[in-house]
Chains A and B, each alone.
Chain A
Amino acid sequence: MLARVADDLYWLGRYLQRAENTARLVAVNGNLQLDLPRGLRTGWAPLVDIVGAQACFRALYSQAQESEVVRFLMLDERHPGSMLASLSRAREILRSVRGAVPNEMWERLNELYWFVRADGERALSPRGRPEFLARLVDGCLALTGILVCSMSRDLAFQFVRIGANLEQADMTTRIVDVRSTSLIEGVASEQLAPFADIQWMSVLRSLDAYQMYRRHARMRVTGVPVLRFLLQDREFPRSVSFCLQRIDRALLKLPAQRPVTQALARVAALLRDADLEALIRTGLSGFLDEVQIGLGVLHDAIHAAYFRRDANPSDLLRS
């Protein structure tokens, strides 16, 4: 397989996963705002923090009200991480690697893309939003479904899955980071205390994890067990540890590259050994930053091992 095609497939996985997560994030935040008393509403700005696009947002918008943030996250192609930009780039990739994935993906992705282009404005009003976002999430799930159900477990598949899992691990870390920081700081605030559980629930819901948490964690929805579920659970598909496990399995099918397995092992160990009880008291952000850096190192290692297009040709021949 060509390095360029592998690179494209990896990003295809990332963009599709990113599009789905973004839609969920917006949906859940809308719900949360309705549940919180007016004075305590967290508003929409934290979503911009979650996707790490504060600078880009400030350059484009003067205020962070609902409609601005939703437009920025969903429809604004000037924001490279927006839902529409993700779909549009996934589409460009599919156009050139169509032969490697089931044909039906191309048709479904086109459908979804044109749907967002035509009906995107519906996401801006609280009334039209739920239905619009539900259809988006359905569309993304259908694409993943086609991959999982109709694609041979060849190299192409492994690269898409590595991309998707790395993106999910990244997204989960970001959601936990932004949401829990305000929660943990808010422990002191007596006003907020009655609503803390609602917010922890919304963290779970952002990741479609509420039901599975209830089934498997069997605990009250509160700080440490929620964090444990989202970061360390080995069975929930959006937990960071689960995603890393999946990447590990996919790597077994690729030509072995030591720096990649090492980078993966390092970030997996970081999560496994984390003492969340202690961390939640002292502050989680430093730890989550470390995890994020670890994921970044893993991405770089994968890139260097499999996609190196700029590498010196003669070195390639000798290695």
Chain B
Amino acid sequence: MQQYIIQRVLLNIPVILLVVTFVFFASHIRPDWAEQRAAQGMSSTKDYKEAVQAIRHELGTDKPLWRQYVNYLGKISRGDFGTSFITGHSVTSELRGRLVASMELGALQILISLAIAVPIGVVAAVRQDTWVDYVLRFTAVLGLAIPAFYLGTLLLLLATKVVGWTPPLIPTAYREIWQDPAANLKMMALPALAGGFAEAAVIMRLLRSELLEVLRQDYVRTAWAKGLRERAVLTRHAMRNAMAPVVTIIGLLIGVLFGGNVVLESMFSVPGAGQFIVISLEQSDFPVVQGVVLIVAVALVTTNLVVDLAYAWIDPRIRYS
């Protein structure tokens, strides 16, 4: 296990380095644009060209590319992920509270998707090739096709027209969960449901196919043969093995969820990291976009590493393949 952990961690170092390099080049494709934007604020007093020059000096973009790259690496290793053009605050200070909101939304979505997918996946597998199975599978295929932001729109329509409840869509209505759980959950409810449904489809399909495979194995037949009840066979024998791959897919889903939440957070005014990216993009606040993307990507690489290690710990066969 120790050797496996070391191997996996070492494999991730070049990946993170490449992620950083990629973000670095993306941020240097059009530096002039960014500098001119920044210079606009101070061009009233100085000559415009002089202002651009001053900004270039301040940002360090007048140096050769390799030097800039080294500086960039140094900055990042010190935890400096850039500064907003608009507010002048550092990206990390703005992001701290937002990551909490994003993580809360993601956690809610995973809980909802598991609550939907596990019972449905079990029923579909146990009643394989009956009409129940067909209906559930078709719903899952539909769930895969429907974009989260359309589902969110439909849920909003449904809540307003049928339930007669409209969630607060103004950003100022947001409260952190330990300040005011009710207000927080009101904001989170619809995006959590919309994202949760979409992911439930993926989990349900995987669980169904895994369970079908497990149910055909000898030890399950033994369990049936010794007269165990269906519930005991399913939960104590079959599910344990069928759930292992679901653990891995949840790790991968965190990335997918984050991508989808960029849209959902903007739609439902949840002040998360995804909404931050979109707002910054609208304001052409590129350092923020790139800083946030980098932090999120590194966070996802780390999450996947942890999930991989957890999986190897659950299922020792993985370590030797």
Chains A and B form a bound pair? no
Chain A residues in the interface with B (C-beta under 8 A)? none
Chain B residues in the interface with A (C-beta under 8 A)? none
